[in-house]
Amino acid sequence: MSQIVKISKGANIKLTGTAEKVLGNIEMPTSFAVCPPNFHGLMPKLSVKTGDKVKAGSTLFFDKYNEQIKFTSPISGEVTEIIRGAKRKILEVKLKADAVLAYEQFDVSSASAEDVKSALLISGLWPFVKQRPYDIVANPSDSPKAIHITGIDSSPLAADYEFLIHGQEDVFQAGLDAIAKLTLGKVHLNVNANTVFDSAKNVQLNKISGPHPAGNVGIQIHHIDPVNKGEIVWVLKAPDVLAIGKLFKEGKYDASKVVALGGSKVTSPKYYKVLPGANIKEMFGNEINSGARVISGNVLSGDDVSLDGYIGFYDYQICAIPEGGEDEMFGWMAPGFNKFSLSKTFFSWMTPNKEYDLNTNMNGEERAFVVTGEYEKVFPMDILPVFLLKSMITEDIDAMEGLGVYEVAPEDFALCEYGCTSKIETQKIVRKALDLVKQECG
């Protein structure tokens, strides 16, 4: 039975530069990179070397600890460089694209769960399937109690998933039909009320409303069917389902997707059809103004990639906001009519619909972790966020388990981090703690 969930805790941070729902035109860049750091917990082992020719769908590397999980090229072309970091960690596999893309052809079938898994694994689409707990790429050997697909992104400057899906409902349904075979439990499609997703079949349609982080799949799972110790839930974003649908309809890995380019440093914010791993400067160098911080993903939990960086595998938005760094006279003592605050420090609480041109300034340094009640105002889970974070800092696994560590992911704490009086980097703490719990108990 469908559920209706109304989130009351949270906050919408309204920034200037929301993408207009118009599809812009750009030329396909020649420079691409597939970045293993996009896939947390992965130990990559290369299948290619510099100079190799690949097609779209050719394997570039795989997980050393689970060789079934492959990561494939989004384009056809040549491997130009392997970028390594400390201890020879692979950071980027750089590619130069052909003028006309050639695709690997896959003999796919969706007759059974094993057929679907095999097709997703060999084509490189399996990494779209992530899991709770731990917020990592799902293990194909597991049996999830349910699958949750989120059709909402409530973060600042977010892409409208309805706009991304519109006109491709048949492809989306093909993806849903395949995904439904991966679990004996329910497939939950969590959406806003009265959406383009209403005609979706083989899913339980749940209606979610409320401020950010209502669009986080972890928040949705918590209110619909929480994850307990020993249970596994698989999660995807609605646009990910399109790529899966294309595989089963066309027999190829078509990685093309639509992203929202937004932010106050963008000349003309709108949507663009791109490929994951595309070089941002080649595509949007003329659209992004100087002095911008370029983020792949949303401004709260995305990656600072710079203008020379690449679009992340999981990201459906590129944000360009002011870098900041300038000193401000009087700081927080000024009225702050053009500043946004989750508390009533500034007068922004009197203009809830105003859009703000915010920069990346921290407006303070890290200090003692005190209990202020600010986290609880924006954390819509039946969990004590401050106590959970303190147990994470002290690496007290028993306390973490009792306080709900299996339900959370770093992105669920992004709004807490934004409004933190103590300037604590909560997302890094959560990520480190999840890795520890997985190592000791997973």
Q: What is the pLDDT of residues 389-403, one digit of tens each?
A: 999 999 999 999 999
Q: Is residue 185 part of a domain?
A: yes
Q: Is residue 17 part of a domain?
A: no
Are residues 231 and 156 part of one domain?
yes
Q: Is residue 148 part of a domain?
A: yes
pLDDT score at 339? 82
* Average pLDDT of the chain, as a whole number: 94
**264-284 pLDDT, tens digit each:** 999 999 999 999 999 999 999
pLDDT score at 326? 74
CA distance 224 to 150: 12
Q: Is residue 102 part of a domain?
A: no
pLDDT score at 348? 76
Q: Is residue 79 part of a domain?
A: no
Both tokens of 65, joined, read 């600890």
CATH code for the domain of 136: 3.40.50.11540
Both tokens of 194, joined, read 């009265």
pLDDT score at 195? 77
Are residues 136 and 246 part of one domain?
yes
Q: Is residue 119 part of a domain?
A: no
Are residues 152 and 218 part of one domain?
yes
Which domain, by its residues, includes 369? 362-441
Are residues 380 and 329 part of one domain?
no
pLDDT score at 129? 98
Are residues 227 and 187 part of one domain?
yes
- pLDDT at 184 > cutoff 80: yes
**379-390 pLDDT, tens digit each:** 999 999 999 999
pLDDT score at 324? 82
Q: Pick from 197, 217, 250: which residue ends a domain?
A: 250
> What mean pLDDT is predicted for residues 408-419?
96
- pLDDT at 366 > cutoff 90: no
**112-139 pLDDT, tens digit each:** 999 999 999 999 999 999 999 999 999 9
Q: Pick from 250, 272, 305: which residue ends a domain?
A: 250
Q: Pick from 235, 250, 265: which residue ends a domain?
A: 250
pLDDT band at 352 (very low <50, low <70, confident <90, very high): confident
Are residues 136 and 241 part of one domain?
yes
pLDDT score at 336? 72
pLDDT band at 320 (very low <50, low <70, confident <90, very high): very high
Are residues 234 and 263 part of one domain?
no
pLDDT band at 327 (very low <50, low <70, confident <90, very high): confident
Q: Is residue 136 part of a domain?
A: yes
Q: Is residue 135 part of a domain?
A: yes
Are residues 242 and 324 part of one domain?
no
Of residues 348 and 431, the one with the higher pLDDT is 431
Are residues 224 and 150 part of one domain?
yes
Domains held by the chain: number: 3
CATH code for the domain of 307: 3.10.20
pLDDT > 90 in the chain, percent? 86
Are residues 241 and 194 part of one domain?
yes
pLDDT band at 45 (very low <50, low <70, confident <90, very high): very high
Of residues 143 and 346, the one with the higher pLDDT is 143
pLDDT band at 331 (very low <50, low <70, confident <90, very high): low
CA distance 292 to 320: 6
Beta-bridge partners for 72 = 59
Are residues 217 and 183 part of one domain?
yes
Are residues 218 and 153 part of one domain?
yes
